[in-house]
Structure formats: structure tokens, C-alpha cells
């Protein structure tokens, strides 16, 4: 990207990294520390292959990117009204809602001051002090639209698979984040933001990927209640469909919003507005406006398959936007990631 003017724009990736850094409270003076240890690690792994010239080139690249990130992060801190030396604010859990057996929502309000303004689709980090003494932050989507007095995060307990341990932070919050608890929360971050147009909008999700979709629908029900919106969601069952009651109320309040759900289990008995369909999401017989903007969130295999289905239906790649929970370089170049498996 630094030497090929025809390479894909790396700006979106840099902005996502900057937002993630701000949510974690990264400070500008930490870059030299990281750079020092990174260069040591490169030398340790590659050994004699790292000549002085190669080491100088790596150092130059690190600081080219580092200076861009420092400047972008300073801007984000300023826009959020956050002192980088004090990146965490105290929020109180004012309400807790169990959305499904493994998913819960927390309604959070600042202990002091007002809730910061945020854009629909953003996230916050929550930092907890674990029994081991470690302090661990995790990012969670703000699953509500801008409310002014509070924000909602919706969290799924992460269960270990194949011998892996359970998620530390999600399960600590599940056990301890009760009404009255006080948590350390970052400023809202994230660059996947609801567009301001009035064109058709398609919202596609699976599982816990419903969280940014719920925020978008809540916001639309207030600001653009007559916008054409189509909501497609896939889940294991209606019982595990988080935030369904919220979405149902907002869809009913809108003039041209429709939802279709797919459930792997008991679809025929699900009490949905429109009859749920069995199995995995299948868009082949679903009508989607070719000029629609698409927001999508869910597991990577789901998003790969759904993106391909949307492209096959004539939706241009530029109109398909993603929120990725985890490493998100796929969102920058999904074709390469898809080809790689």
C-alpha cells in the first residue's frame, strides 16, 4: 500500500484500528514502547536476516503508520471529549434484561454527567478486574439508538469449544453486572455508522449479530419511520433470538418495515409477525431492491455466504457494509478472504 498507488485504500483499516485503540485507552506515548519491543521481536525471530537496512525499513514503516494512528486517535479523543489519561468513565447498571438463556442486556447510565453522544452502530469497551487480578477490556456494540440518558449493551456469554476456556469477561459480567453495579466504560467508538439517506435499507444478521441491527432499527423508528426497511435474521431458535420483542415493537411502529426470520429449530411454532422459515437463511426467493444499502453482522461464514447471495441478486459490493466481531481485515477485502477459505 505504501509503494503501489493502485493498491486498495488502506484508510478504512487505519480508521478502524484507531477507533479500537481509543476504545482501549491507548496513549500516544505507548507507541515508542510497542515499537521497541516489535523491532526486538522481529530481530529475535528472523535473526541475521534482519540487516541494518531491513531494520531501518521496518522502523520507518512502523512510524509511518504510527504517526497516522496517533493523529487520528487524538482527533477521536477530542471529538469524544475524553482525556486520554483518563479514558474510562464510571457507569451504573440501572437495569438488566435477560434476552435469552445465554444473552443479556445492560442499561447503563453515567454515574456523573451526561451520556456522551454516539452514532448508531458504534460500540463501547467495558473493562473489568478479574479475580486473577488481571484487568481485561472487551468491546460490545451499543444495541440501542441514541437515547440521551442511557445506553444499552447486549452481551452473549462466550462458552469454550473444543477444550477452550469460557470467555472471561462476558461470563464475569453475566455473573456480576447486576442493577447497581458500577463499570468502567470507554467513549463510544466505531466507524460503521448508519447512513443518512432515505433509500431502501436491508439489515441482515445472525445470532448475536442482531445487536447493531437492533440499534439501527430503534434509531430509524424515531428519525425515519417511513423509510423502506427489510430485516432478515437467522438464529438457532426463536427462544435464542435476542432483542426480538424490541424489534417487533419498532417494526410495528414503522410505515414500511418488514422482517423475515429463519430458525434452525421449531420455526413453524415461532410467534413471529411473519411466519418464520426453517433452516439457514436463504435469500434466493426474497425480493431485495437493487438500490438498497445493506448492513450485515454475524459469523464470518454466514457473512461470506450472504454477501455472495446479495451479489448474485444484483446488489453492488459498494452497497454492502459489515460489522465484524473479531479481526476485521475481511471487511476490507472480503473477496480475498473468501478465496482463501
Per-residue three-class SS string for 113-146: CCCCCCCCCCEEEEEEECCCCCEEEEEEEECCCC
As a residue count, the chain comes to: 341
Place of cell 487520528: 72
Place of cell 525471530: 45
Q: What is the CA radius of gyration of the chain?
A: 21
**What is the dihedral sign for C-alpha 104, 177, 211, 281?**
negative
Which of these is catalytic: 29, 30, 31, 134? 31
User: Running DSSP on this structure, what letter comes out for residue 293?
Assistant: E
Is 323 labeled as catalytic in the residue annotation?
no
- SS3 call for 336: helix
User: Running DSSP on this structure, what letter comes out for residue 7?
Assistant: S
Question: What backbone torsions phi and psi does residue 11 show, to the nearest 5 degrees?
Answer: -55, -45
257 closest CA partner among 224, 290, 283, 285: 224
User: DSSP labels for 229-259?
Assistant: EEEEEEES-GGG-TTHHHHHHHHHHSSSEEE
Specify whether the CB–CB gap between 335 and 304 falls below 8 A.
Answer: no
Rounded CA-CA distance 127/24 in Å is: 9
- SS3 call for 148: coil
Is 77 labeled as catalytic in the residue annotation?
no
Rounded CA-CA distance 205/321 in Å is: 12
Which of these is catalytic: 73, 99, 218, 323? 73
Specify whether the CB–CB gap between 242 and 100 falls below 8 A.
Answer: yes
Rounded CA-CA distance 153/148 in Å is: 15
Task: Note the Cα 119 to chain centre separation in Å.
Answer: 12
- Active-site annotation, residues: 31, 73
Amino acid at each position: 500500500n505504501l509503494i503501489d498507488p493502485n493498491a486498495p485504500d488502506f484508510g478504512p483499516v487505519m480508521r478502524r484500528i484507531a477507533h479500537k485503540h481509543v476504545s482501549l485507552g491507548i496513549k500516544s506515548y505507548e507507541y515508542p514502547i510497542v515499537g521497541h519491543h516489535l523491532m526486538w521481536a522481529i530481530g529475535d525471530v528472523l535473526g541475521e536476516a534482519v540487516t541494518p537496512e531491513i531494520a531501518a525499513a521496518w522502523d520507518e514503516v512502523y512510524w509511518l503508520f504510527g504517526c497516522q494512528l496517533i493523529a487520528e486517535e487524538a482527533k477521536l479523543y477530542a471529538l469524544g471529549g475524553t482525556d486520554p489519561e483518563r479514558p474510562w468513565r464510571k457507569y451504573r447498571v440501572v437495569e438488566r434484561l435477560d434476552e435469552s438463556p445465554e444473552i443479556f442486556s445492560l442499561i447503563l447510565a453515567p454515574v456523573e454527567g451526561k451520556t456522551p453522544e454516539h452514532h448508531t452502530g458504534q460500540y463501547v469497551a467495558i473493562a473489568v478486574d478479574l479475580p486473577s487480578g488481571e484487568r481485561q477490556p472487551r468491546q460490545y456494540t451499543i444495541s440501542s439508538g441514541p437515547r440521551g440518558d442511557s445506553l444499552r449493551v447486549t452481551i452473549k456469554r462466550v462458552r469454550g469449544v473444543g477444550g477452550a476456556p469460557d470467555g472471561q469477561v462476558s461470563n464475569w459480567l453475566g455473573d456480576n453486572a447486576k442493577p447497581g453495579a458500577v463499570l468502567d466504560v470507554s467513549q463510544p467508538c466505531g466507524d460503521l455508522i448508519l447512513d443518512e439517506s432515505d433509500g431502501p435499507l436491508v439489515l441482515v444478521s445472525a445470532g448475536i449479530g442482531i445487536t447493531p441491527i437492533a440499534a439501527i432499527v430503534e434509531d430509524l423508528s424515531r428519525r425515519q419511520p417511513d423509510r423502506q426497511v427489510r430485516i432478515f435474521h437467522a438464529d438457532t431458535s426463536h427462544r435464542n433470538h435476542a432483542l426480538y420483542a424490541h424489534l417487533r415493537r419498532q417494526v410495528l411502529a414503522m410505515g414500511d418495515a418488514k422482517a423475515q426470520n429463519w430458525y434452525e429449530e421449531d420455526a413453524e411454532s415461532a410467534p413471529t409477525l411473519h411466519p418464520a422459515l426453517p433452516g439457514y437463511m436463504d435469500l434466493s426467493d426474497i425480493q431485495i431492491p437493487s438500490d438498497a444499502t445493506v448492513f450485515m453482522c454475524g459469523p464470518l461464514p454466514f457473512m461470506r455466504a450472504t454477501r455472495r447471495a446479495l451479489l448474485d441478486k444484483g446488489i453492488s459490493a459498494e452497497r454492502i457494509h459489515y460489522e465484524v466481531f473479531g479481526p476485521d481485515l475481511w471487511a476490507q477485502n472480503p473477496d480475498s478472504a473468501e478465496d482463501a477459505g
